Amino acid sequence: MSSGVTKMQILSMYKLLMRESQKFPNYNFRSYALRKVQDAFRANKTLSDPKLVKKEFDYAKENLGIIRRQVVIGDMYSTEKLVIENINQ
């Protein structure tokens, strides 16, 4: 049994992180999270060592949990939309 992480699992994790980051009610948190996810995956796309890939995948799982918790907290404390946000969303 291989303990390596497949490309499909990595792609699925990327999509989950992006989807969860979109749920932030605050524009600044949302754009920061999206940018950090994209930058992290872009920086690690050339990793080939299975141990490093597994380590980064586990780190992404931890961050997914953090993002989910922060989205729930953000929903508890609503703020007004910023001028740059589309009000019709």
For residue 88, pLDDT beyond 70: no
Each residue's pLDDT tens digit, 1-36: 356 889 999 999 999 999 999 999 999 999 999 999
> Which domain does 43 fall in, by range?
14-76
Residue pLDDT, tens place only, 41-62: 999 999 989 999 999 999 999 9
Checking if the pLDDT of 64 tops 80, the result is yes
pLDDT(72) > 70: yes
Reported for 28-35, long-range contacts at CB under 8 A and 24+ positions apart, including other chains, are 28/82, 29/70, 29/74, 33/67
Residue 42, domain member (yes or no)? yes
Domain-located, residue 2: no
pTM tops 0.95: no
Number of domains making up the chain: 1
Asked if residue 89 belongs to a domain, the reply is no
